[in-house]
Structure 1
Amino acid sequence: MTITIRAGGPDDAPLILGMLDSAVEWLVSQGRTRQWGTEPWSGNPRAVELVHRYAASGTPYFAEIDGTPAATLTLSTGPGPYLEPADEPERFIHLFATDRRFKGRGAGAALLAHVAQVTREAGISLLRVDCYAGDDGKLIAYYERNGFIRTEPYAYGEDKWPGQVLARRVL
């Protein structure tokens, strides 16, 4: 098994949407409907626009296992509009998803390590991500296993969606 990382671009939005749809399907099968809802992202015009915006303004990355896309994330210079930017230069991870067929094969961890290296090579110390903080906390624990520490919790929107910002120093 070989994991390779490649940078993408705006034309990869359909691939990102496909991975997000796969993740939603898996979450729903696990009864975890609060994280990303119950409907495919590709059928939600707001979600499609969000993916296209991030893919155009940031840098999508893909982990491929033996040539097949297995995980994706998009790296940008700051968080979404629902969070305050850091008080220093940062890189922010968006739209992190893995194809569940590759669960446990290291594609997600390889992507996180890669963007930590990209951030370090840019001379930037701070790498941040935010994620769903509800249910059993496994998502937060995953990021912690990959070198991130919890910084601030938040509640988003009218339904008070529980979120957690995590950070990793890479310099």
Structure 2
Amino acid sequence: MQIRTGGPGDLSATLALLDGAVAWLTARGRTGQWGTEPWSSRPAAVDRTRRYTEEYLLRVAEVGGEVAGVCVLAEEPPQFTPPAGEPELYIRLLVTDRARSGSGIGAALVDDAVAEARRRGVGLLRVDCYAGGNGRLVRQYEALGFTRAEPFTVPRAGGDPWPGQVLQRRV
């Protein structure tokens, strides 16, 4: 596996990973996180992903020359999460190829994010994730060395609020 810096040219591969993740979650009846519609069919989601590839640090994991995962890093959290009160590096997106699940791609991208935080002299790495579904995703991040910080919710028009969890890792 190789990890490289990406950019706008990686938009279609990033959207394909997100579409794959939505399909994988939907096939398992886990629709609370991202719904059932492909990421690439939702204009607001495509626009957000485009901004990620243009405005933030996009790190791309490749296996055999194919994109197997991406991690988007920013120096500020999304507006729906509380600020850290200190300099931080924030994982805005982490998604891997579901066909390669369990192969360590996500862990390698998190390790890469830790190295980037150290390179910048930042002592805190944070991420947020879906806290529903019995907390599976929260536990995955805990297995990667993160600890729970603040829970939060994001209001959704016509539906229940989206439950989230901010996690942090000292580096």
Name the TM tier (shorter chain): over 0.9
The aligned counterpart of 1:161 is 162
Task: Flag structure 1 segments of 5+ consecutive residues without an equivalent.
Answer: none
Task: Flag structure 2 segments of 5+ consecutive residues without an equivalent.
Answer: none
Post-superposition shift, 1:40? 0.7
CA distance, structure 2, for counterparts of residue 85 and residue 100 of structure 1: 31
Q: Secondary structure at the match of 1:137?
A: helix
CA contact (8 A) 1:151 1:164 kept: yes
Q: Secondary structure at the match of 2:133?
A: coil
Percent of paired sites with the same residue: 48
The aligned counterpart of 1:95 is 93
Could you state the TM-score of these two structures normalised by the residue count of structure 2?
Answer: 0.94
1:104-119 matches, within 5 Å, as 104-119=102-117
2:122 is aligned with 1:124 = yes
Moved over 3 A (4+): none
Q: Secondary structure at the match of 2:30?
A: coil
Q: Secondary structure at the match of 2:163?
A: strand
Match of 1:81 among 79, 101, 124: 79
RMSD (Å) for aligned C-alpha atoms: 1.0
Q: Which amino acid aligns with 2:147?
A: I
Q: Which amino acid aligns with 2:150?
A: E
The aligned counterpart of 1:60 is 58
1:30-58 per-position Cα deviation (integer Å, ceiling 9, x unaligned): 10001001001111000011111122111
Q: Secondary structure at the match of 2:114?
A: helix
The aligned counterpart of 1:21 is 19
CA contact (8 A) 1:65 1:107 kept: no
CA contact (8 A) 1:62 1:72 kept: yes
Q: Which amino acid aligns with 2:164?
A: G
Post-superposition shift, 1:155? 1.1
Match of 2:143 among 142, 145, 161: 145
Aligned residue pairs, count: 168
Could you state the TM-score of these two structures normalised by the residue count of structure 1?
Answer: 0.94
